[in-house]
Structure 1
Amino acid sequence: MVGESELPKRPAFSELPLHEGDPPYSSWGLWGDKDELGSINLITSKVTREAIKEAQLGITIPLDLPLDAIAKPLIPSRIAYHHNLIAKGFANDDEIHMNTQSTSQWDSMRHFPYQDGYRYYNGTTMDDIAGSVEKGIKANNRNGIQNIAKKGIATRGVLIDWCSYAKRKGIKFSAFDRYEIPLQDIIDIAKESNIVFRPGDILILRTGLTEQYTKLTYDEKIALTQRGKNSFIGIACGKETAQWFWSQAFAAVATDTLSFEAWPRQNSDSWTWLLHEIFLAGWGMPIGELWDLELLAAKCEEVGRWSFLLTSQPLIIDGGVASPPNAMAIL
């Protein structure tokens, strides 16, 4: 972890990557060659002290969906959650079996690499993560979720409630089809809500996916996994989007959809990267997905304020790819 007095000067987006041969738009080495916290380094003690001031009303709002909220993982290759109660007579135990991507989660830096070369944050390779018998390489825990978990997250969260914005504007969309949320919408919502972003903030984007999902019947939920395609609402990819997110110096981002960016990818002649590649592998910036933002959105609207203290304590899973966020907003 970088000390508060040792924060490096943040380069301009145009200066990325920092070293020749590193992947496009990556910031490898900014926090040190062996760093495993990435943009979480931006959450300094000063940032946390300022964030605590956001807890003005004492209203606590958990942001995790129930572990069994998704009837069947929306990506069919992932196993469904299972809870097993072990009744012993004199006491009880229980076990859970789940894919950490099947409900609310943080993606760690070992989830998604640059697809060209399969390199993860700060040069971590698939051989580092999974090992290689042929090469005689033993797997290690580099870039695992345990790094974030052992630090813990306490910073300012900022809600961008695009779902409510879309309703006001008469925008029709299905969260289960590929729909691109324009970056300009995010900027406009922030302006409407009198939000001024600060380094170390976590931007939370409400798309409306979980709202739409909860209104489906059980059969309709199962049918989503049998479409033969994975398509979801998310923010539009592109250089302008990546540049804007870099300029805001966010510690992380989170959303209620399955992928922060619109899925599947749609490449253009000038842009071929997913935000997953840039955020996770390039900057070491965690992505939260499938968060429960419904009560948070209602309360923010009620009190007329969209920033709050955000705490999160992921599970300490050595080498973990993802974890439930155990996240809470405190207004």
Structure 2
Amino acid sequence: MQDTNSPRWQRRPDGSTWGDFGPDDQLGRVNLLTPEQVLKGVREVRTGQTFCLSLPLDLPGGNALNARRHPPRLAATERDGVPYMNFPMQNLDPTSIDVLSDDQVLLTLQYSTQWDAFAHVGAWFDVEGKGEERKVYYNGYRAGEHVLGGEDDGHEHDCGGTHGMGARRLGVENFAVKGMQGRGVLVDFVPHFGTARTLVGYDILQDVMRRDGVTVEPGDMLVLRTGFADVVMDGAGHADAETLHNAGAVLDGADERLLQWITDSGIACICADNYAVEAYPAREREGRKSLLPLHHHCLFKLGLPLAELWYLRELAEYLRAEGRNRFLLTAPPLRLPGAVGSPVTPVATV
């Protein structure tokens, strides 16, 4: 498909939404979180009770899930080598009665409960239609020009205070400004499969939704409870790699009917309590392929955000007891310019 209004591409991936929300769009399906959609979420509130949907950010613990991602390291701020924790301000002014504590953190942004920005996963694609592939992201934003760092960046830039690295476009701050609030719809796999590893394709998803009376409408925020975060929480940061990699339901990103349903459903995002949302690596397919086909479909093609490692047990148990599956979901990420992912403390209001 051609779009002469695009400054970055003359050809877009089949089935993508590139250009549908404008040539310079950075929100994708987040555009569907309209004021009307927020009001749909508000109308689901009956008691005003709230549920925190974040794991403690030092979970899952260690590096069993991803060797690159590390638990947060909390420390006191310092001045002249003096840590400011339980610091008596009378050291600065003898008349002061104040005691001050002030801290800082070294944080891997996608270690625990998180959002993935569109700059998180791109692909090699021939955006010019001339037979030459290049590294691009949603809506044709380009590695080395709009997403900086690594071998593609031959320039010196200042992106959000991080010299020479970061997303000048498609950063997670765009979600923060939008607000990430709307009607959440929960699909709970745990009552059907427990916390065992289960590969969920289109047929299984539709069967669970039918049995539980779950209806998803355009603009809804789809929330999936797989049981993975329950295992993480119960393990208190000490679950071993084998236990984690065999826990919880995972979407079958290689199921083309599932991917087509995601497209056709009109959902604004997918939020799951597991790691990666989909099975990694995906089921084997022939030819050149994405190892993360659901990420490719959602982040790269549709502009549909993914969220991982949410904690849903108490919310799910409450909703099931009440015969409900919808709620008001509020989940803005950090407004951190240039970040390709962000911690989040989602709140469900019922």
CA displacement at 1:278 relative to structure 2: 1.1
Of the candidates 188, 196, 205, which is equivalent to residue 173 of structure 1?
196
**Residues 162, 185 of structure 1: 8 Å contact kept:** no
Describe the superposition over 1:276-312 as per-residue Cα deviations: whole angstroms up to 9, x where unpaired.
Answer: 0110111111101000011111111111101101111
Question: Aligned pair 1:151/2:174, yes or no?
Answer: no
2:80 alignment counterpart: none
Q: Which residue of 2 aligns with 1:66?
A: 56
Q: State the distance in 1 between where 2:66 and 2:39 align.
A: 39
Residue 201 of structure 2 corresponds to which residue in structure 1? 182
Shift of 1:136: 4.3
Q: CA-to-partner distance for each residue in 1:3-26, whole Å, 9 max, x for gaps? A: xxxxxxxx9xxxxxxx86323432
Q: Tell me which structure has the larger Cα radius of gyration.
A: 2
- Seen in structure 2, the aligned counterparts of structure 1 residues 136 and 321 have a Cα distance that, compared at 3 Å, is closer
Deviation at 1:120, TM superposition (A): 0.7
Shift, 1:232, TM fit = 7.5
Q: Distance in 1 between matches of 2:227 and 2:246?
A: 17
Aligned-pair CA distance for 1:61? 0.6
Percent sequence identity over aligned pairs? 28
Task: Check conservation: 2:226, 2:273, Cα contact below 8 A.
Answer: yes
Instruction: Pick closer, same or farther for the CA change 1:270–1:234 going to 2, 3 Å.
Output: farther
Match among 109, 113, 132 for residue 118 of structure 2 = 109
The AA in structure 2 aligned to 1:126 is: A
State the match for 1:264 in structure 2: 281
The residue correspondences of 1:1-331 to structure 2 (distance < 5 A) are 21-73=11-63, 74-85=65-76, 86-87=84-85, 88-89=87-88, 90-114=99-123, 117-127=134-144, 128-130=146-148, 135-136=154-155, 138=157, 141-167=168-194, 173-174=196-197, 179-216=198-235, 219=238, 221=239, 223-224=240-241, 233-237=249-253, 238-269=255-286, 272-273=289-290, 274-331=293-350
**Structure 2 contact 327–348 (Cα < 8 Å) conserved:** yes
Structure 2 gaps, min length 5: 2-8, 77-83, 89-98, 126-133, 158-163
Tell me the distance in 2 between the aligned counterparts of 1:225 and 1:188: 29
Query: 1:140-170 deviations in whole A, cap 9, x for unaligned?
Result: 5200011110110221101110121114xxx
The amino acid of 2:36's aligned partner reads K
Moved more, 249-258 or 194-203: 194-203
- Three-state SS of the structure 1 residue aligned to 2:334 is coil
Give deviations 1:69-116, integer Å, cap 9, x for gaps: 221142012122111244123301011111111100000001111256
- Report deviation, 1:268: 1.8
CA deviations over 1:240-293 (Å, ceiling 9, x no partner): 111001111011001011111111122324893411011011111110100001
Q: Which amino acid aligns with 1:235?
A: L
Against the structure 1 CA distance between its residues 329 and 275, is the aligned structure 2 distance closer, same or farther, given a 3 Å change threshold?
Answer: same
How far apart, CA to CA, are the structure 2 residues paired with 1:230 and 1:173? 7
1:226 is displaced (CA, Å) by 11
Letter in 2 for 1:92: S
Residue aligning to 1:16: none
Q: Which stretch of the first structure deviates more once superposed, 108-117 or 200-209?
A: 108-117
Letter in 1 for 2:300: A
Question: SS in structure 2 opposite 1:242?
Answer: helix
Q: Please say if residues 75 and 230 of structure 1, whose CA atoms lie closer than 8 Å, have aligned partners that are also in contact.
A: no
RMSD: 2.7
Q: Answer yes or no: is the 8 Å Cα contact 2:71–2:107 preserved in 1.
A: yes
Q: Name the TM-score, length of structure 2 as normaliser.
A: 0.79
CA distance in 1, matches of 2:280, 2:248: 5
- Unpaired runs of 5+ residues, structure 1, are 1-10, 12-18
Preserved CA contact (<8 Å) 1:193 1:305: no
In structure 1, give the amino acid aligned to 2:214. Answer: I
Classify 1:247/1:182 alpha carbon distance in 2 versus 1 (closer, same or farther; 3 Å).
Answer: same
Letter matched to residue 262 of structure 1: A
* Structure 2 letter corresponding to 1:113: G
Distance 1:95 1:296, change over 3 A: same
Cα distance change of structure 1 residues 195 and 230 upon mapping to structure 2, 3 Å threshold = closer
